[in-house]
Amino acid sequence: MSLLLSRRRLIGALGASAGGLAAAGCDRIAASPSTQALLGFGQRLTYSAQRIVMDRTALAPEYGAADMSPLFRVNGNATPGTDAYAAHVANGFADWRLVVDGLVARPLALSLDQIRQAPRRTQITRHDCVEGWSAIGQWTGLPLGLLLKQAGLRPQARYIVLHCADSFGSRPYYESIDLVDAFHPQTILAWAMNGAPLAVGHGAPLRLRVERQLGYKQAKYVMRVEAVSTLANSYGGKGGYWEDVAGYQWYAGI
Amino acid sequence: MPTPSALPQGGDLVQRHRLPTRLWHWLNALSVIVMLMSGLMIFNAHPHLYWGQFGANPDHSWLDIYPGHVRIGPLHIPTPGLLGVTPAGGRFVAFPPLLTLPSHYDLAGARVWHFAFAWLLVVPGLAFLVWGVLGRHFRRDLLPRPGELQPRHLLADIRAHARLRFPTGAAALHYNILQKLAYGGVIFVLLPGVVLTGLTMSPGMDAAWPWLLTLFGGRASARSIHFLCAMGLAAFLLVHLLMVVLAGPLNEIRSMITGRYRLPKGPRS
């Protein structure tokens, strides 16, 4: 934090114009811990308010085939880019396993074929990027709630953490959701998109679709599903890669 | 009805704004300015607007901000140094650092500001709406009177404003028609418009209230309307501030703080 502030002060000092200095002053107020605490209150209020007005099983809008985006842009990492991942792609994910562990009664390791043969849900939904663009696509996958019932959540479990094969630099991507969203009927681990096996750019072999939240929650290249009681012990502790590195909201329903 | 001679004269100190109006005005001023500045930062993350249910880079946009120029439909407007700038050492931004909160590119930070101050916009706004209806403020002070909307009256008022001739004496006790239309437009069109289109962009709210998408014709359309309403509020803010300066800033600002307003003296009062 002190490093961040000093960097901002430096940028402020470099801005020679009066306007630049005024803006830097605003930024210093904005970055102060008390301002951030006050603003954080707004975030918690939004999360609570949405959970109150929203039926827990209220469905995200589903669209018809005619509404689909002609081209669904790839965003975030376009591939994990590791040797291990390349080997999985080369043999069609035959040796790949989805690990389900943490606070579960029966840890699982499932092959892609087992996942594809399990009950599935197909939905045409809208993907809303935090940046403001949106695209509509069709997703088919295994409802996460079914998987969690199979594994048997322990009573202490409060969140589901999705560990991914991709990373930014040395920081692996990950995301997490609460149990309301984990057991929501539209929350699936998608293995197909627009009627074809999930492409590498879109997160092959498996990506999360949690349709009532923004794009950065839709973790790609999911390798492991972990049930936890707290998010504090995973990676940076804020519940997701973007939450940890850039302060994005953990609850991305807005 | 008091007789004309019983009406206050130019130079008299009168009670102009009631407490709820004054309170809401300042809370709203703060929240609207923070919302506009953080909103411009959020817009910078994807400076393209679309109509319909979806819209992303491969799709047809109706507005783009590119380095040094803005495209609106077929129209290309050069905006060097104003819009589509790359600050020294920074990344390309549609709206320049002086207008955005935070000033540097920070989508996550801007969203935190935007959604915290959204509560300050909505909660006092709803309270003001309830008070305005029950307390008859809207009906008494903002509803145009018969004849006020006739072209002749409107034109006369526009002409008077253009010549910077503002109502004086007892005539300044009430809002003129341009004020009524401007304040009414903000209270009943632009503010509800930004709030509802803002909610429509929330994937959570779309699940809770799917009628929002029907109302605005999709999320991409809602984002476009959200931007247009915000630009309308920005335009109102600029004209409003200009009018305050022209009409006598100390008297106007005092009336919005203490409620008391000195009626301007005119040639006939």
**pLDDT tens digits, A18-34:** 454 455 667 777 778 88
Percent of chain A with pLDDT over 90: 78
Indicate if the pLDDT at residue A13 is higher than 50: no
Give the pLDDT of residue A22: 57
Cα–Cα distance list, A196 to A119, A140, A193, B5 (Å)? 17, 9, 5, 83
Task: Using CB atoms, pick whichever of B117, B118, B203 lies closest to residue A253.
Answer: B203
Residue of B nearest to A35 (CA): B113
Tell me A43's DSSP state: H
Chain B residues whose beta carbon lies within 8 Å of the beta carbon of residue A184: none
Secondary structure, 3-state, chain B: CCCHHHCCCCCCEEECCCHHHHHHHHHHHHHHHHHHHHHHHHHHCCCEECCCCCECCCCCCCEEEECCEEEECCEEEECCCCCCECCCCCCCECCCHHHCCCCCCCHHHHHHHHHHHHHHHHHHHHHHHHHHHHCCHHHHHHCCCCCCCCHHHHHHHHHHHHCCCCCCHHHHHCCCHHHHHHHHHHHHHHHHHHHHHHHHCCHHHHHHCCHHHHHHCCHHHHHHHHHHHHHHHHHHHHHHHHHHHHHCHHHHHHHHHCCEEECCCCCCC
Distance CA B71, CA B86 (A): 18
Task: Using CB atoms, pick whichever of A73, A132, A136 lies closest to residue B45.
Answer: A132
Distance CA B225, CA B216 (A): 8
Nearest to A130 by CA among A8, A240, A50: A240
pLDDT digits (tens, 9 = 90+) for A67-101: 999 999 999 999 999 999 999 999 999 999 999 99
Question: How far is CA B145 from its chain centroid?
Answer: 23
Distance CA A142, CA A59 (A): 17
What value does the mean pLDDT take over residues A203-213?
98
Distance CA B68, CA B80 (A): 4
Give the pLDDT of residue A40: 83
Task: Using CB atoms, pick whichever of B53, B108, B219 lies closest to residue A247.
Answer: B108
Give the pLDDT of residue A237: 96
Residues A204 and A165 sit within 8 Å (Cβ to Cβ): no
A169 touches chain B (CB under 8 A): no
Distance CA B168, CA B148 (A): 18
Give the pLDDT of residue A24: 61
Chain A residues whose beta carbon lies within 8 Å of the beta carbon of residue B101: 26, 30
Enumerate residues 6+ apart whose C-beta is below 8 A from A241: A168, A171, A172, A173, A174, A175, A216, A235
Give the pLDDT of residue A141: 98
Give the pLDDT of residue B90: 86
b/e sequence A87-98, b meaning 16+ C-beta within 10 Å: ebeeeebeebeb
Give the pLDDT of residue B18: 95
Q: How confident is the model at residue A35 (pLDDT cuts 50, 70, 90)?
A: confident
Give the pLDDT of residue B3: 52
Contact A129 B56 (CB under 8 A): yes
b/e sequence B109-136, b meaning 16+ C-beta within 10 Å: bbbbbbbbbbebbeebbeebbebbeeee
How far does the CA of residue A52 sit from the closest CA of chain B (Å)?
10
- The pairing of beta strand A134-143 with beta strand A121-128: antiparallel
Residues A87 and A79 sit within 8 Å (Cβ to Cβ): no
Both tokens assigned to A119: 């009950």
For residue B262, the cross-strand partners are B13
Indicate if the pLDDT at residue A2 is higher than 50: no
Contact B203 A43 (CB under 8 A): no
ipTM score over 0.85, yes or no: yes
Residue with tokens 């009950």: A119
Enumerate residues 6+ apart whose C-beta is below 8 A from B207: A54, A58, A59, A60, A61, A211, A212
Give the pLDDT of residue A12: 40
Residue of B nearest to A46 (CA): B115
Q: How confident is the model at residue A39 (pLDDT cuts 50, 70, 90)?
A: confident
Nearest to A187 by CA among B125, B119, B203: B203
Chain A residues whose beta carbon lies within 8 Å of the beta carbon of residue B209: 53
Indicate if the pLDDT at residue A8 is higher than 50: no
Task: Using CB atoms, pick whichever of B43, B115, B208 lies closest to residue A43.
Answer: B115
Residues B172 and B264 sit within 8 Å (Cβ to Cβ): yes
The CA-to-CA distance between both ends of chain A, in Å, stands at: 26
Both tokens assigned to A200: 């590498």
What value does the mean pLDDT take over residues A194-216?
98
pLDDT digits (tens, 9 = 90+) for B240-259: 999 999 999 999 999 999 99
Among A127, A134, A180, the strongest candidate for a mutation testing the B interface, having the largest count of B CBs within 10 A, is: A134
Residues A103 and A161 sit within 8 Å (Cβ to Cβ): no
Distance CA B246, CA A77 (A): 54
Enumerate residues 6+ apart whose C-beta is below 8 A from B150: none
Distance CA A182, CA A216 (A): 16
What value does the mean pLDDT take over residues A231-253?
96
Enumerate residues 6+ apart whose C-beta is below 8 A from A245: A168, A171, A236
pLDDT digits (tens, 9 = 90+) for A121-167: 999 999 999 999 999 999 999 999 999 999 999 999 999 999 999 99
Residues B75 and B87 sit within 8 Å (Cβ to Cβ): no
Nearest to B42 by CA among A60, A131, A100: A131
Both tokens assigned to B200: 């429509």
Q: pLDDT averaged over chain A?
A: 91
Q: What is the dihedral of CA B80, B83, B87, B91, to 10 degrees?
A: -120
Give the pLDDT of residue B88: 86
Both tokens assigned to A55: 């039926």
Give the pLDDT of residue A23: 58
Residues in chain B where the model's pLDDT stays below 70: 1-5, 267-269
Q: Is A59 exposed, middle or buried, given 0-12, 13-18 or 19+ CB atoms closer than 10 A? A: middle
Give the pLDDT of residue B98: 94
| pTM more than 0.95 | no
Output the CA torsion sign for A12, A15, A16, A21: negative
